[in-house]
Structures are given as C-alpha cells and as structure tokens.
Amino acid sequence: KDDVSYCSTGGGAFLEFMEGKDLPSIQALKAKI
C-alpha cells in the first residue's frame, strides 16, 4: 500500500534536461527575456 508503483519522467523531457540538453520550451522562454 505504501510502495511507489509509477514514476513519471515527463516523457523523456526531464531526462534530456538532466543530461544538460536545451529543451525547446526553455529556449523559447529564454528568447522572450
């Protein structure tokens, strides 16, 4: 009952972010600043 049965990684986007890759959404936000 207290075990974790599922962990989402954001469809791979979080993993790419952790690898240091620039994500399109982050690039778009940076371009607006």
Domains held by the chain: number: 1
Query: 23 near 17, Cβ under 8 Å?
Result: yes
> Taking the model in full, what pTM does it have?
0.42
Structure tokens at 20: 């240091």
Taking the chain (33 residues) in consecutive chunks of 10 residues, what is each chunk's mean pLDDT? 77 83 87 85
Predicted pLDDT of residue 31? 92
DSSP classification of residue 1: -
Full domain range(s) for residue 13: 1-33
